[in-house]
Every structure is written in structure tokens, then in C-alpha cells.
Structure 1
Amino acid sequence: MTELPAFDLPVWMNKGQVAKLAAAAHRWFTRLGEWALWPLKQLDPMTCREAVLELIAWQRDITRFKGEPLDLFRLRVRYAYANARDAGSVEGFKQIFERLGVGYVELEERMPGRDWDVVAIRLSDNQLAQNESLLSTLIQHYGRTCRRYEWKIITTIPMEIQVVEFSNDHLTETAILEEP
């Protein structure tokens, strides 16, 4: 809440009981403004009380999984509508993972030599280990019906490339045949 501006009293009134009354009135109206804005603050899943968050989550069809941190639950509730909208496409599914802090993932559908309904989700082993319950919940909630999902691990390998100059000479010779 933004603070109310202090009362600008004339110099002869800016002392004693009048100054105390002005300070008390300032505190009272600041508190009154906070009380008036409290219901509005309860509509934001990132700042509302936990009991209200449960109601908003129920309204948006989000269930808290066992051991889910409160800040992650708040994010899932906040982005529930956007995630439901984006769940139907590959790019949207990637955005869901990005919004919820999983990070970069790759999705591959309709791979040659595989059944058409298998979707491969490529991510690092750290992402899978740190977000196992979240990933399972996201697949269950936003995954497409009649699809099978499999995890594929991306392993990063450090690599060095050196640029080195080397000199080579080449010579092009041409021969001309003279006619006799």
C-alpha cells in the first residue's frame, strides 16, 4: 500500500496536540486503506493467504501434490489458465515447463520407427531428479489423452575446441598441348 502524504499543516499548528492528532489521523487512514485493499490482495495467488489460495486452486482445478512447496503451488495456481490453454501444442507444453521453473526441455513427437502416440521429453538428469513429482503431475494434468510419455536424459559434456593456424602451400600448374 502506498503511504498517504503527510498532512501539511501551517507552521503555527505544526506542534503540540494538533501535530499528534495529525499523526494519529495519518496512521488511522493508512490502516483503513490497507483494510480496504485486503480483499483485492486476496485475488492474487502470489500474495493471498494460504486458505484463500486453496479456494482459488480448487476453482482452477489445481490440486497440491504431496510435498509441494508453497511457492511452486502458488505458481501453478497463477498460471493455471495459461497452462490449460497451452497444453495442446508442443511449444505450449515447453512454455508450461518454463513457467514453472523446470527449465529448457525438448519434446519430440511421431518419431520414425516408433508408435505414433509416443512423445519423448528430453531434459537433464538434474531437472528430472529435482522435479520428479511436478513433472508427473504436469503430464497427468496437461498431457494429451491417448499419448504415452517417456523421459530421455540430455547429458551435457564439456568440450574444448582450439583454433590453430596452419600454413599450407599449394601450386596449380596447367599444361597446354600444342597441335603438331
Structure 2
Amino acid sequence: MQLPFWFSKEQISALAAAASQWFAKLQEWALWPAMQNNPETCAEAVLNLIAWQRDIDRFKGEPLSLFRKRVKYAYINAKEAGSVVGFKRIFMRLGIGYVEIEERMDGVDWDVVDIQLSDTQLAENQQLLTVLIQHYGRTCRRYRWKIITPVPFYVRAGEFNNTYGYDHAAVSPCTVGVRAEEFSNDFVMS
């Protein structure tokens, strides 16, 4: 089907390019509100509103990427903060890494909680760790940092040759009616 038109080919191409740009801009404007719901991609001003809604405050010197992660995981972190496993997951989600948490140790007050982590984890995330303990830590608990220093060691498996042997002695089975003197010296070594 051919439609009549009064433009030349160059004019039609220019009109198509302008219309394409206009509709791309309209699509961007229409999708902008939907993209603002995601804390990883939203504008920083909108991120601050979402953070306020989720009770997350940005601490001094916090990188924007870390702040976005804390806002993104605020609900699940608040839900899991009451258990040891959940507290470990919070540290993993926010990029601190693996930590060990011990509670109710023998010889220590019941309200002391030890958080064991490496010295690099503590040095690189000191402010974040403090904020996490203040925000998600349990009421009436005291938290202590314990430094774990990994020490590499090597175990070498080797073979050493031992020879061993054993001797087995067996007595031939007794039969009914045979006297014991007949097989008194009859034994087999193998």
C-alpha cells in the first residue's frame, strides 16, 4: 500500500529521526518514576527520602554505593537482626565479609557478645560496624570485637614404608571318635 506524501525522501528521514527522538524522550520520562523505586538506581534526592522512610541515616564519609546497599537491605536487615545467623548475613550483605559471633560464653557475663573478625575487616569498616551495632544490635547487650589473625600453615602428606606381616595358625577340625593323640602335632602355619 502506498500512501501519498508531499515531502521529499530527505525530509521524511529527518521527520522520522525527530519523531524517534521525541518518543524516546517520552519513554524516558514515563519510566523515570518506576526507576525511582529501586535504591540502586534512583536519584540521590529520592534515595534520601527512601532512606528516611526505612530509618537509615548516612554517616559521615560513607560512600554512596554503601549507602545504597544499606537502604536496599534495610527491611531484611531489620528482620534478621535478632538472630546470630541473621546478624552474620547482615555483615555479608554489606560487604564486610564473614564474621563469627559468640554469645553466652562460660565465665563471661551473659549479656556480652563477641564478634570475631580480621584486623583488616575492622580497620576498613570501623564506622560501618559501629553504625550496624547501634542500629541492629540487641538492647541490653554489650558487644566486643575480637580480632582473628589468620596464620597460614602447611601440612604435607607423605608416605613412609613399613612392612608388616602376621602369622596365622589353625587347628584342623576335630572329628568324632578320633583320639587327641592323633593330631596333637598337626597344625598348619600360613
Q: TM-score, normalised by structure 2?
A: 0.82
Q: Within 5 Å, which residues of 2 pair with 1:34-113?
A: 34-113=28-107
CA distance in 2, matches of 1:90, 1:29: 52
Out of 136, 139, 146, the residue aligned to residue 133 of structure 2 is: 139
Tell me how far apart the structure 1 counterparts of residues 25 and 45 of structure 2 sit (CA, whole Å). Answer: 23
SS in 2 for 1:119: strand
In the alignment, what sits opposite 1:126? 120
- Calculate the aligned-residue CA RMSD, in Å: 2.2
Give unpaired runs (5+ residues) of structure 1.
Answer: 1-8
Aligned pair count?
Answer: 168
Which residue in the other structure is 2:15 paired with?
21
Partner of residue 6, structure 1: none
Structure 1 residue ranges, 4+ long, deviating more than 6 angstroms after superposition? none
1:169 Cα deviation (Å)? 2.0
Q: Which amino acid aligns with 2:98?
A: Y
CA distance in 2, matches of 1:41, 1:26: 22
Give the Å deviation of 1:15: 3.0
Instruction: Measure the CA separation in 2 of the matches of 1:79 and 1:63.
Output: 13
Instruction: Provide the secondary structure at the position in 2 that maps to 1:26.
Output: helix
Task: Output the TM-score relative to the length of structure 1.
Answer: 0.86
Distance 1:83 1:50 in 2: 21
Cα drift, residue 170 of structure 1: 2.8
Q: 1:14 to 1:106 in 2, by over 3 A?
A: farther
